[in-house]
Amino acid sequence: MAFDCYCAICGVGFSGMRIGTPSDATAERRRQYVDRISRSLNGTTTADLECRDGEEPIHSYDPSLVDQDNIAWTSQVHCLGMQDDTKGKSRAFLSGPGYYADAGELAVKVGQTARRTYFNCYGFGTDEVPGPVMPFHWCCFEVLLRALTGTTDPKNVNLEALYEAMSSLCNWSGSALRVQYGDDVVRAQGQYWQSLPGAEYTVRHPSTTAISETITANLQTNKKLRAPPAEINLGTRQPKNPFSTLPTELVHQICSLLPGESLKSLTQASLFINLITRDDYFWKRVIATDMPWLEAPESEALRKVVDLDSSSRETPLNYQLVYQWLDEVSKPKFGMDDPVLMAVANRRRIWGVCEEVARAYRSHFT
Ligand SMILES: [Zn+2]
């Protein structure tokens, strides 16, 4: 078994975060390393994820992208476990805060007691708590609660069902769940957490406060998002397409199920799809269904901008362009360097894991 265990929801560690210093001799090597890996990930060279011969590996984050305050959230741990109540019935419990001790062991507060209790993450448990306990950061658990219930109140979730769902994804000898945390996190999940440069976005707090401010600012000032749709002179052409025999509402639904890149390609390849997906209503709905991690369209960001627009002579937002912009800037990517968008990308990455857990959770009720 690995010595470190990782958050069941985001896959990131609870300890061992290292941040370089600006004067550090490794700063230039860190930058070259990030450039080299970015090029290999773009497919221009063979993937070379290891350092070159004779070089010490760089295991520290870029200090211009994260500082100790940014990563403070990673060190506090909570867990979800299951134990028998006084009548011998299995009950799930959420622990209070604690810390990761070592070798897969957590020290957390349970109930009203002041003393800490020790649990084994993902392992075979103890006499008191016979199954695995799932460790996580509280902010990641809030993202999971939102994906499951639309709120962040643990009272709205069936904890026993959630425990069963997470257990079903548990790798008994492992250090995290069997879910898609993303390559940048999987690479860092060694025997101990490795602070790999270029993956700083994975340790940014996934909160939404600054996110909505940045999105509001971009929506207000980015003129490219206000370009009207290109005119299409149909002449006598009548675009025909296999989709054209279906009701528009159904085609809209099919389109809204496609990932961002595929939807963009389809609107470019098919004149018919291009024409019937031109209205803002369609793109607002796609933003709402395809970007739940943004909590749109009710998100504060979009609402604010729409309110401002209605009282100004500004060219209205083109929601197709807004969707494409949001999809692109929020993609979790190696080498990201915008502090706010790094947080958006991390939230989006975590939301993907939450959807996997949510599928297992919902199957419990069917
Ligand atoms: Zn986490």
Asked if residue 155 and residue 73 are part of one domain, the reply reads: yes
Q: What are phi and psi of 339, to 5 degrees?
A: -55, -40
Q: Residue 32 C-alpha to ligand 1 middle, in angstroms? A: 29
Asked if residue 226 and residue 200 are part of one domain, the reply reads: no
Q: Residue 78 C-alpha to ligand 1 middle, in angstroms? A: 10
Q: Residue 359 C-alpha to ligand 1 middle, in angstroms? A: 19
Task: Give CA–CA dist 344/326, Å, rounded.
Answer: 10
Q: Residue 142 C-alpha to ligand 1 middle, in angstroms? A: 10
- Choose the weakest-confidence range: 88-102, 165-179, 292-306, 350-364: 292-306
Asked if residue 199 and residue 70 are part of one domain, the reply reads: yes
* pLDDT for 103: 77
Q: Residue 83 C-alpha to ligand 1 middle, in angstroms? A: 23
Q: Residue 157 C-alpha to ligand 1 middle, in angstroms? A: 18
Per-residue CA distances from 133 to 124, 326, 352 (Å):
9, 36, 22
**Count of domains for the chain:** 2
Q: Residue 300 C-alpha to ligand 1 middle, in angstroms? A: 24
Task: Give CA–CA dist 314/221, Å, rounded.
Answer: 10
Q: Residue 73 C-alpha to ligand 1 middle, in angstroms? A: 9
Percentage of the chain modeled with pLDDT above 70: 85
Asked if residue 226 and residue 181 are part of one domain, the reply reads: no
Asked if residue 134 and residue 6 are part of one domain, the reply reads: yes
Q: What is the mean pLDDT of the chain?
A: 83
Q: Residue 363 C-alpha to ligand 1 middle, in angstroms? A: 23
Terminal-to-terminal C-alpha distance of the chain: 34
Q: Residue 358 C-alpha to ligand 1 middle, in angstroms? A: 16
pLDDT at 352 over 90: yes
Asked if residue 262 and residue 195 are part of one domain, the reply reads: no
Any residues with CB less than 8 A from the CB of 332 and at least 6 apart, and which? Answer: 182, 184, 201, 202, 345, 346, 348, 349
Asked if residue 274 and residue 314 are part of one domain, the reply reads: yes
Q: Residue 141 C-alpha to ligand 1 middle, in angstroms? A: 7
Beta strands in 95-211 (DSSP E): 98-102, 105-109, 116-120, 134-136
Asked if residue 299 and residue 231 are part of one domain, the reply reads: yes
Task: Give CA–CA dist 353/182, Å, rounded.
Answer: 9
Asked if residue 183 and residue 34 are part of one domain, the reply reads: yes
Task: Give CA–CA dist 314/300, Å, rounded.
Answer: 19
Asked if residue 146 and residue 21 are part of one domain, the reply reads: yes
| Mean pLDDT confidence for 311-336 | 85
Q: Residue 288 C-alpha to ligand 1 middle, in angstroms? A: 24
Instruction: List the domain range (segments joined by +) for residue 309.
Output: 209-333
Q: Residue 12 C-alpha to ligand 1 middle, in angstroms? A: 6
* pLDDT for 173: 67
* pLDDT for 289: 80
Asked if residue 352 and residue 259 are part of one domain, the reply reads: no
Q: Residue 182 C-alpha to ligand 1 middle, in angstroms? A: 13
Other beta carbons within 10 Å of 218: 19
Burial bucket for residue 114 (CB in 10 Å: 0-12, 13-18, 19+): exposed
Asked if residue 146 and residue 198 are part of one domain, the reply reads: yes
Q: Residue 111 C-alpha to ligand 1 middle, in angstroms? A: 22
- Choose the weakest-confidence range: 2-6, 51-55, 318-322, 344-348: 51-55
Burial bucket for residue 312 (CB in 10 Å: 0-12, 13-18, 19+): exposed
